[in-house]
Amino acid sequence: MISEDQSFTKISDEQWQAITHNDSSYDTLFIYAVKSTGIFCRPSCKSRHPNKVNVLIFKNAEQALTQGFRPCKRCKPEGLHLPDLDWVVQIADYIDDHYSQPLTLEVLADMCHGSPYHLQRTFKRIKNMTPVEYIQMVRIAHAKVQLNTSDKTIGEVGILVGLPNTPYFITLFKKKTGYTPLQYRKEYTYKSLVEVSDDGTK
Ligand SMILES: [Zn+2]
């Protein structure tokens, strides 16, 4: 038996049915939050169905907000409107955490509960770059760190940063930095050696 003061409850079969059937007759009875995305929704929300183990049930939006969840951009539980700025932060956070995985506009829209079109426009307006440009920036930044600090091959570095197609990784890296990954690594190594020999006059 769950005590009264606990703000969320374990999901019942009936609630799970309501969520998977997008049953709007349950919208006034509960809202559900998803741990993996940090978003909460009405039962009727048309967003992709969550993994059941990640679902928390709340009596109302206020309780979910108190626990740090954010309202869904799409279904606006209890009429709560997620500010665009918060939404873009949510999307950028998702990219920062998942850059090594396949990411497309569709995947992002799916995870962050909006349409690809709306996501593209809103992100660009606030960040001054498209989501794809932001993904590329994050991946290249992580690739630089790997090239400078590890012995991994170019192909391995590409895989680590979500660019498993090596020729494409090399092309993109060169476009963004002016160097191929190998040139970038050599440049860095060369400079390090010069510094060492300058300091270490015997
Ligand atoms: Zn929703």
147 and 173 part of one domain: yes
pLDDT tens digits for 19-44?
A: 999 999 999 999 999 988 889 999 99
pLDDT tens digits for 84-98?
A: 998 899 899 989 999
Name the token pair of 166. Answer: 């090596």
Domain extent at residue 186: 133-199
137 and 125 part of one domain: no
Average pLDDT across the chain, whole number? 88
Position 49 pLDDT exceeds 90: no
Which residues have CB atoms below 5 A from the ion given as ligand 1? 41, 45, 47, 72, 74-75
CATH code assigned at 99: 1.10.10
Q: How far is the CA of 46 from the centre of ligand 1 (A)?
A: 7
Q: How far is the CA of 153 from the centre of ligand 1 (A)?
A: 42
21 and 74 part of one domain: yes
State the virtual CA torsion across 37, 38, 43, 48 in degrees, nearest 10.
-10
What CA–CA distance (Å, rounded) separates 18 from 28? 12
93 and 147 part of one domain: no
Q: How far is the CA of 48 from the centre of ligand 1 (A)?
A: 9
182 assigned to some structural domain: yes
Tally of domains within the chain: 3
24 assigned to some structural domain: yes
Q: How far is the CA of 58 from the centre of ligand 1 (A)?
A: 14
3 assigned to some structural domain: no
Q: How far is the CA of 61 from the centre of ligand 1 (A)?
A: 12
CATH code assigned at 177: 1.10.10.60
Rounded to 5 degrees, φ, ψ at 70 are -115, 150
67 and 46 part of one domain: yes
Q: Can you give the pLDDT at residue 139?
A: 98
67 and 121 part of one domain: no
* Helix H or strand E segment including 97: helix 84-98
Give this prediction's pTM: 0.74
- Name the residues annotated as catalytic: 41
73 and 14 part of one domain: yes
Yes or no: say if 181 and 143 are a contact pair by the CB < 8 Å rule. yes
2 assigned to some structural domain: no
What CA–CA distance (Å, rounded) separates 170 from 179? 9
Yes or no: say if 162 and 137 are a contact pair by the CB < 8 Å rule. no
Nearest by Cα to 126 from 162, 82, 76, 86 = 86
